[in-house]
Structure 1
Amino acid sequence: MSFIRPDAQRILLKWRDVLAGLVVIAIGLWWASGSGILQWVGVAVILGGAVLAFSGFQRARFRTDKGGPGVVTVDEGEISYFGPLSGGIAPIDDLALVMLDPQQTPPVWILQQPRQRDIAIPVNAEGVDQLFDAFAALPGIRTEYMLSALKADATQPVVIWSKPVGRLH
């Protein structure tokens, strides 16, 4: 039995990383108000808390409601999705394109890789939060663009990232 309402619990879980960053900043401010070496440690802790809060803010914007079909895992550099009708495994290094398709219900992440079937992952699948770190590891991805596309009311598929094509000289 929980003392926290389910709606409030869901909001706290969504923003937990930001809250943790704010707690770290508060501790850093307390230490920085002292003197000597503790003051410098406090400044470093404040900076670390700010990074944690900023990262948490981006993660919170990426999180969506749970309860969608399938399960996502990211392990050893591979994205795995297993759903009721489809699924697949995509090594992060082999990805050629990441696209968000809002025409589906719910919207889906489309992962394309050479000579393989596309993998369509619902944005509310269990464990989809792990995709944030996997996508962030892609070279040249624009995280803010990805987050704004996720929240926009697009009517057409949006290319979030495509593998840079090497140029011959």
Structure 2
Amino acid sequence: MIRPEALATLSRWRESGFAVALGLFGLWLAGRGGWVFGPLGLALAAAGTAFLILALRRARFRQNSIGPGLVELDESQITYFGPTGGGAVSLRELVELRLLARGGRRFWRLKQADGQALLVPVDASGAERLFDAFSALPGMDSHALVAALAPIGGAASGGLPASATDTLGPVIWHRPARRALT
């Protein structure tokens, strides 16, 4: 009954719709007045607003799942199963996060403390789970994370300019240096 494109769009923005509904219900409840409904409604409206900010960032982070491979996130370990390779990275061992453009595609470059790096396509199936994993990293700015995925130059090929075939983007996040105990 519903076209697949419309269903995909509705699915992408469902969290935002829920947050707006929660905020509106909170405002309606606050309008009822009284010592109970007023503060409860304002608290629900504030929670809906906070959830809306997070939901909008998640929706902007989510890409079409048309890329190769599958991403799994299990107990702070990111695993990528690709058609020609793959690997796993522990979030505890992660020291650097970058966005890499290679051959007209974009990849997350996850570098471990031992120097190994894992490339994960931003449009792989399950890559939307990475937002929560990356947001949990110490000192991560989720706004900078979403801004890194913004289309560059407005090109149609995943936001990449035509001249950028192999470019290593700026560091989005790096683990703060640990101080030595003396």
TM-score, normalization by structure 1: 0.91
Q: Which whole-Å CA distance do the structure 1 matches of 2:103 and 2:177 have between them?
A: 29
5+ residue gaps, structure 2: 153-159
> CA offset at residue 88 of structure 1?
1.1
Matches within 5 A, 1:12-23: 12-23=10-21
Matches within 5 A, 1:18-57: 18-36=16-34, 37-57=36-56
Aligned match of 1:95:
94
Q: Does 1:150 align with 2:180?
A: no
Q: Please provide the CA RMSD for this pair.
A: 1.6
Q: Which amino acid aligns with 2:174?
A: S
Aligned match of 1:141:
140
> Any idea what the Cα deviations from partners look like across 1:70-92, whole Å, max 9, x if unmatched?
11111111111111111111111
Q: Does 1:166 align with 2:178?
A: yes
> Any idea what the Cα deviations from partners look like across 1:45-85, whole Å, max 9, x if unmatched?
00110011100000011011112111111111111111111
Q: Which whole-Å CA distance do the structure 2 matches of 1:117 and 1:165 have between them?
A: 18
Please state which structure has a larger fraction of its residues in strand. Answer: 2
Aligned match of 1:77:
76
Secondary structure at the residue paired with 1:108? strand
> CA offset at residue 113 of structure 1?
0.4
> CA offset at residue 167 of structure 1?
4.4
Q: Which amino acid aligns with 2:32?
A: G
Q: Which whole-Å CA distance do the structure 2 matches of 1:43 and 1:77 have between them?
A: 35
Aligned match of 2:130:
131
Q: Which amino acid aligns with 1:118?
A: A
Please state which structure has a larger fraction of its residues in helix. Answer: 1
Change (3 A) 1:116 1:88: farther
> Any idea what the Cα deviations from partners look like across 1:97-125, whole Å, max 9, x if unmatched?
11100234321001110225311100110
Number of residue pairs aligned between Structure 1 and Structure 2 = 167
Q: Which whole-Å CA distance do the structure 2 matches of 1:109 and 1:118 have between them?
A: 10
> CA offset at residue 5 of structure 1?
2.1
Change (3 A) 1:51 1:104: farther
- 4+ runs of 1 displaced by more than 6 Å? none
